[in-house]
Amino acid sequence: MITPEQQAQLEKLMRHALSLAGHGPITGGNPQVGCVLVDATGQIVAEGWHHGAGTPHAEVDALAKLGAGDVDASELGGSATGTGVRHVAAGLTAVVTLEPCNHHGRTGPCAQALLDAGVSRVVYAVPDPGPDSGGGAERLRDGGVEVIAGIARAEAEEFLHSWLTATRLQRPHVTVKWASTLDGRAAAADGTSQWITGTAARQHVHEQRARADAIVVGTGTVLADDPSLTARGDAGELLEWQPQPVVLGRREIPADAQLRQHPEKLRQIDGSDLDAALSELFEAGIRRVFVEGGPTIASAFIAAGLADELLIYLAPKLLGGPQVALGELGVSTMAEAKDLSITELRPLGNDVLIVARPATETRA
Ligand code: AOF
Ligand code: ZN
């Protein structure tokens, strides 16, 4: 049992570990994880975070900074058998945002690295739902380490929302975005749709693209709008991370389509089976998908119960007419309406961003 004071101190340390986690990339398939090592007096002696897929995990990154000259991250991360035991962290507590992993992936199991380093206590926020990677807490307990789970769990779950969703459901987390007028139109009667929202909202969209592993559009949008689907900064420059462009549908993408100039390889998938399309993307390592339309594709994801988050950019304009932002959702009566809860409401220039999630859980 821990006292309320200890609980409060661990929550504070966990929040710090979460802020460290945020230094790592949200893209690339791996979770953002942070770790602090504290001594018996509660002083932080080392900090670490995960710098992206293929690099050492947060725990190993922190252990490597302990100043034990002869220990390097690769050695710690690769130590699964207890060879190279050094007890560099004897008596320390590791505060880590995600349950230490228990598997040999691209690096070794962190639970074993923590055991080898001799930590006496491990505190984590969220259990790892991964079928292979989970179970680190048990391994640590079996090794005689005190383990405290669930500190600041709600905050950490919110922080890791998309990765946890993808790992639990074994399909990418799906964000569906659209921009519309206040009366829900995404284009004028003649089909013109540029520009519904202003620059602040459009810049926000670019930032969201840069936080996704893939951007998904339908062939209809490619043929109608010829989008480039790159993530760009204020001055039109390409941002560092570019999501992979994915086109759903069977119609041919023209040879001179702007999408063909995208820095990442264009992927086209038959869009008639969204489950199969998402499986293919998950297999390819994609964990965050940003669906940018048009209305047919957006509606299909929502109707299928596969939209985990909606980003709706509303412009203070009215268009009326037939070009609605969403089409058929399989809803024929009020009782079947898709209920949402709004998680964020933010002015962006003259426009408004609404972030919403389905009121009930989405499906695998
Ligand atoms: C991370 N960073 O700090 C922690 C992770 O392919 P690997 O070997 O990098 O393993 C990735 C898995 O390891 C990941 O899906 C998660 O379950 C677990 N923990 N991963 O990328 C970290 N602690
Ligand atoms: Zn790990």
- For 42-104, give the DSSP string: S-EEEEEE--STTSPPHHHHHHHTT--TT--HHHHHT--SSTT---TTTT-EEEEEEPPP-S-
Q: How far is the CA of 131 from the centre of ligand 2 (A)?
A: 14
What pLDDT, on a 0 to 100 scale, did the predictor assign at position 1? 81
Distance CA 184, CA 20 (A): 39
* Nearest atom (ligand 1) to Cα of 110: 23
Distance CA 134, CA 239 (A): 34
| Among 64, 117, 46, 114, CA closest to 87 | 117
Q: How far is the CA of 245 from the centre of ligand 2 (A)?
A: 30
Q: For residue 237, indicate whether it is catalytic.
A: no
Strands 214-218 and 288-291, bridge-based pairing: parallel
What pLDDT, on a 0 to 100 scale, did the predictor assign at position 87? 84
pLDDT tens for residues 15-59?
999 999 999 999 999 999 999 999 999 999 999 999 999 999 999
Q: How many Cβ atoms are within 10 Å of 160's Cβ, its own excluded?
A: 22
Distance CA 211, CA 173 (A): 12
Closest ligand (CA of 129): 1
Q: How far is the CA of 360 from the centre of ligand 1 (A)?
A: 28
Residue nearest (by alpha carbon) to ligand 1 atom 18: 101
Q: How many Cβ atoms are within 10 Å of 184's Cβ, its own excluded?
A: 15
Q: How far is the CA of 55 from the centre of ligand 1 (A)?
A: 9
Distance CA 108, CA 300 (A): 40
What pLDDT, on a 0 to 100 scale, did the predictor assign at position 70? 43
**CATH architecture of residue range(s) 4-158:** 3-Layer(aba) Sandwich (3.40)
Closest ligand (CA of 134): 1
* Nearest atom (ligand 1) to Cα of 52: 21
Residues of the chain with CATH 3.40.140.10: 4-158
Distance CA 65, CA 45 (A): 9
pTM above 0.85, yes or no: yes
Closest ligand (CA of 97): 1
The catalytically annotated residue of 59, 75, 292, 309 is 59
Residue nearest (by alpha carbon) to ligand 1 atom 22: 57
Residue nearest (by alpha carbon) to ligand 1 atom 15: 30
* Nearest atom (ligand 1) to Cα of 98: 23
Residue nearest (by alpha carbon) to ligand 1 atom 10: 105
pLDDT tens for residues 65-121?
996 544 455 555 444 444 444 688 999 999 999 999 999 988 889 999 999 999 999
Q: How far is the CA of 212 from the centre of ligand 1 (A)?
A: 18
What pLDDT, on a 0 to 100 scale, did the predictor assign at position 361? 86
| Among 332, 269, 278, CA closest to 301 | 278
| Among 339, 352, 355, 334, CA closest to 305 | 339
Consecutive 10-residue runs of the chain (364 residues): their mean pLDDT? 94 98 97 97 96 96 78 49 64 98 91 96 97 93 97 98 96 98 97 93 96 97 93 94 97 96 96 97 98 94 97 98 97 97 98 97 90
What pLDDT, on a 0 to 100 scale, did the predictor assign at position 83? 40
Which residues have a Cβ under 8 Å from the Cβ of 364 and sit 6 or more positions away? Answer: 169, 170, 171
The set of long-range contacts for 11-16, using a CB threshold of 8 Å and a minimum separation of 24, is: 11/151, 11/152, 13/38, 13/42, 13/44, 13/95, 13/123, 14/95, 14/97, 14/123, 14/125, 14/151, 14/152, 14/155, 14/156, 15/152, 15/155, 16/44, 16/95
- Ligand 1 binding pocket mutation candidate from 51, 96, 98, 106 (most atoms within 8 A of CB): 98
CATH code given to domain 167-358: 3.40.430.10
What pLDDT, on a 0 to 100 scale, did the predictor assign at position 323? 97
Pocket of ligand 1 (CB under 6 A): 30-31, 33, 50, 53, 57-58, 98, 101, 105-107, 110, 128, 130, 133
What pLDDT, on a 0 to 100 scale, did the predictor assign at position 293? 84
Residue 326 three-state SS: coil
Residues of the chain with CATH 3.40.430.10: 167-358
Instruction: Give the pair of three-digit tokens for residue 67.
Output: 């100043």
